[in-house]
Chains A and B, each alone.
Chain A
Amino acid sequence: MDPIVAAASVLAAALAVGLASIGPGIGQGNAAAQAVEGIARQPEAEGKIRGTLLLSLAFMEALTIYGLVVALVLLFANPFA
């Protein structure tokens, strides 16, 4: 592999995961905060809130995973190598 392509790929992979984790991080924080607030206000709804929270957290997680997929493609299946 061309060393410049290799270096660019490694940098791009790091940036892909790093940048892709910012948004979902904020989103997950918001969701968890709201869920805690909801539980504090209505402790009897804890089970339902937890289920919904876990499901929506996994959806947000998926956005980071897209970045990770791009990073993995760059590292292990680089189309420009």
Chain B
Amino acid sequence: MDTLHLLDTFNLLPFAELEVGHHLYWHLGNLKVHGQVFITSWFVIAVLILASLAATRSIQRIPTGMQNLMEYALEFIRDLARTQIGEKEYRAWVPFVGTLLLFIFLSNWSGALIPWRIIKLPEGELAAPTSDINTTVAFALLTSLAYFYAGFKKKGLGYFGNYVQPEPIMLPFKIIEDFTKPLSLSFRLFGNILADELVVAVLVLLVPLFVPLPVMVLGLFTSAIQALIFATLASAYIGEAMEDHGHEGEGHEEHS
């Protein structure tokens, strides 16, 4: 019983609470939406828009400050898309991949870096938008749509030829793959981010000071890697959908 009382006193500390599965519900018509996800997403969107505005307000030939940072980000995204999608087609997909990468990256880091707990909600708590499964499923389905669109736009109905390449026996696996791709994309991101936040929360519950710091730093690192992986996989799927099987030996060199 004593240990239980100890846990109770920990729960009285303002920053050491574990809340999973409690949400701030907003009612839109017949829909119940998770309000806390919207609030944090809007915050991330606002940060991204402000950063873009600040970077492009007065463009210099020799970039400094914000412009320099955003140009670095753009070059990074362009390289990523080029290695995965290929030299010829990547340009049209830079905005999509870049939006995914920047939004997921900022969401993950906002959950880890910004002390959302200071803001009290009537129910639930503010956290990274990507630690809610709805956000990540939305991203994954968008990626699915994007690669179907890319394939159909490039090859028309010939896209279905992909399903019987290189052997017709692959057909069932290729069809299953279309379902497992969004499933694994969404679960990977959601699980990683939620796991980060839970591990930090549990450690803060046990030892409130200093001890959770290394785990927090590790969380920052894995969050950044997860954003990179999501963008890399999305562009790899898009590149795969547009791959040209007609000319053998041409499509495979762009996979890094």
Contacts and interface: CB of A to CB of B under 8 A. Distances in A.
B184 interface: yes
Chain A: interface secondary structure? helix
Interface string A39-63: 0000000000000001100110110
Contacts, number: 41
Contact of A62 (B188, B194, B198, B228): B188
Interface stretch (A2-10, A25-33, A68-76): A68-76
A72 B229 contact: no
B21 A59 contact: no
Contacts of A61: 192, 222
B232 interface: yes
Interface string B45-79: 00000000000000000000000000000000000
B interface: dominant SS: helix
Interface residues of B, number: 17
A26 B191 CA distance: 21
Given A76-B21, A77-B21, A55 B229 contact: yes
A65 B187 contact: yes
Contact of A58 (B184, B194, B195, B225): B225
Most chain A CB within a 10 A radius of its CB, from B20, B184, B188, B198: B188
Given A65-B192, A72-B20, A76-B21, A58 B187 contact: no
Interface of A: 54-55, 58-59, 61-62, 65-66, 68-69, 72, 75-77
Given A61-B192, A62-B187, A75-B20, 4 more contacts: A55-B225, A58-B222, A58-B225, A69-B191
Interface of B: 20-21, 184, 187-188, 190-192, 194-195, 198, 222, 225-226, 228-229, 232
